[in-house]
Amino acid sequence: MDFQLTEEHLMIQKAARDFAQTELLPGVIERDEHQKFPAEQIKKLGELGFLGMMVSPEYGGAGLDTISYVLAMEEISKIDASASVVMSVNNSLVCWGLETYGTEEQKRKYLVPLAKGEIIGAFLLSEPEAGSDATSQRTTAEDKGDHYLLNGTKNWITNGNSASVYLVMAQTHPEKGSKGINALIVEKNSPGVTVGAKENKLGIRGSDTHSIMFQDVVVPKENRIGEDGFGFKFAMKTLGGGRIGIASQALGIASGAYELAVKYSKERKAFGKEISQHQAIQFKLADMATRIEASRLLCLKAAWEKDQHLDYTLSGSMAKVFSSETAMWVTTEAVQVHGGYGYVKEYHVERLMRDAKITQIYEGTSEVQRIVISRSILA
Ligand code: CAA
Ligand code: FAD
């Protein structure tokens, strides 16, 4: 067993860290305050290859492994989780899904610009009445011979307005339940697609979350991913890797807050000494460091299993539930270490605490991860 990162891993980690410091840190508070999508920064992330990290160079990607992806996600998320969720959705849900299950034509037409970051994508599974209970899809894709007619509403869609390409799950054969669902590639500018208002959120306020409405949208048959009825399995398989991305996002949010707490504890004096000299603060920092290290190991283990083509469903869910709960706990303690200063925007930790919460909700709530884990260990 080798815990050493390779030279290449260290280089990618440093590149992501430098990018976060120079490109994302300036303006991160204002973007959060004004719910401003980090458009310029995402463009640059794309140019550097961070939006198609694991896609083969043949399709315009960087051809890196999942461990590199975890390392980059952690560094970007330390500074700006609104940017890292764009990166996570594009890499793990959209690009991975297309590269793994798409046809050659779909890859040439959609994956190449997505992997190069020329356009971004979105993943549309959730509906107002189908969140955790994702098999209850009400959006319909009626089979019309050479095309599908898409009708319905998706909600909470990350990149909803910025994406050019949507991967949409919709029900074609309701009598077949989850086996009747199809995954379709839908271009955002298709007639009949409407983008709803932007959600005003607690955290990741820079990311654009929208409802998307479909009314009689014509989707050519060649835009279906996989066989007829493969859509739900497609969504589950894709989310398996997505959960590693969100676990790494949570890891980054936690380690960002921890680094700020360590720094502040050495600067702030109370009762004649730095607060880092008080054992109550030292023990908080020790617990933060320990939980973060455990999260990192779970994320890297899941990534390694994915790279080895092993089944990573269980480890991905374990990484997600543990890292997201760690992020919530660590960020709350980081605010505590900062005292009153932690409660205002300039010190960053309150934003990280607000951003942490979503990691327990999207790509499967903590309860859903526990369902996946318990089913696996009891099987
Ligand atoms: N791989 C392959 N197939 C799978 C699978 C997996 N990981 N998980 C389930 N399936 C298959 C099952 O085998 C079953 O097929 P068969 O009937 O052939 O056996 C079928 O899918 C239905 O599965 P279940 O019976 O297990 O379905 P369920 O109704 O009990 O639900 C669930 C299972 C795990 C709760 C699932 O519905 C789920 O993951 N819900 C959460 C949805 C979610 O994560 N949404 C995220 C949206 S994207 C997002 O959030 C992005 C973002 O924020 C940035
Ligand atoms: P519900 O499913 O209604 O759950 C409510 C509560 O009940 C939760 O605590 C849940 O864990 C619990 N619960 C439900 N069922 C069970 C059960 N069987 N056992 C125990 N507890 C249970 N979706 C997309 O498709 N694409 C996106 O890009 C996307 N981005 C998002 C971005 C944001 C900011 C947000 C807030 C959501 C996003 N989502 C996206 C949706 C997200 O995946 C769902 O919100 C999530 O899956 C939970 O679904 P729900 O909100 O309907 O909650």
Residue-wise pLDDT for 35-77, tens only, equals 999 999 999 999 999 999 999 999 999 999 999 999 999 999 9
Closest CA to 249 of 163, 357, 337: 357
Measure 361 CA to ligand 2 centroid, in angstroms: 6
Measure 369 CA to ligand 2 centroid, in angstroms: 11
Q: Given this model, what pLDDT does residue 143 score?
A: 98
Q: What is the ipTM of this complex?
A: 0.98
Which ligand has its closest atom nearest to the C-alpha of 208? Answer: 2
Q: How confident is the model at residue 224 (pLDDT cuts 50, 70, 90)?
A: very high
Close Cβ partners of 194 (under 8 Å, ≥ 6 residues apart)? 212, 213, 214, 215
Q: Given this model, what pLDDT does residue 2 score?
A: 86
Could you tell me the two tokens for 292?
A: 């973060």
Question: For residue range 66-75, what is the model confidence (pLDDT) as tens digits?
Answer: 999 999 999 9
- The proportion of the chain whose per-residue pLDDT surpasses 70, expressed as a percent, equals 100
Q: What is the mean pLDDT of residues 370-377?
A: 97
Q: What is the signed CA dihedral for 71, 77, 81, 84, rounded to 10 degrees?
A: -30
Q: How confident is the model at residue 105 (pLDDT cuts 50, 70, 90)?
A: very high
167 lines ligand 1 (CB under 6 A): no
Closest CA to 71 of 61, 59, 84: 84
Question: For residue range 233-280, what is the model confidence (pLDDT) as tens digits?
Answer: 999 999 999 999 999 999 999 999 999 999 999 999 999 999 999 999
372 lines ligand 1 (CB under 6 A): yes
Q: Which atom of ligand 2 is nearest to the CA of 159?
A: 28
- State yes or no: is 363 an active-site residue: yes
Q: How confident is the model at residue 122 (pLDDT cuts 50, 70, 90)?
A: very high
**Residue nearest atom 15 of ligand 2, based on CA coordinates:** 132
Question: For residue range 160-216, what is the model confidence (pLDDT) as tens digits?
Answer: 999 999 999 999 999 999 999 999 999 999 999 999 999 999 999 999 999 999 999
Q: Given this model, what pLDDT does residue 298 score?
A: 98
35 lines ligand 1 (CB under 6 A): no
The Cβ-side half-sphere exposure at 372, using a 13 Å CA radius, reads: 24
Q: How confident is the model at residue 1 (pLDDT cuts 50, 70, 90)?
A: confident
Q: Given this model, what pLDDT does residue 154 score?
A: 98
- The proportion of the chain whose per-residue pLDDT surpasses 90, expressed as a percent, equals 99
Close Cβ partners of 174 (under 8 Å, ≥ 6 residues apart)? 140, 180
The length of the chain in residues reads 379
Closest CA to 154 of 111, 102, 101, 193: 193
Backbone angles phi, psi at 28, to 5 degrees: -65, -35
Could you tell me the two tokens for 62?
A: 């960087």
d(CA 244, CA 312): 9
Residue 121 has pLDDT above 90, yes or no: yes
365 lines ligand 2 (CB under 6 A): yes
Q: What is the mean pLDDT of residues 6-11?
A: 98
Residue 14 has pLDDT above 90, yes or no: yes
Q: What is the mean pLDDT of residues 348-366?
A: 98
**DSSP 3-state of 168:** strand
Q: How confident is the model at residue 325 (pLDDT cuts 50, 70, 90)?
A: very high
Measure 364 CA to ligand 1 centroid, in angstroms: 9
d(CA 111, CA 99): 7
pTM reported for the whole predicted model: 0.98
Q: Tokens 């040439």, residue?
A: 108
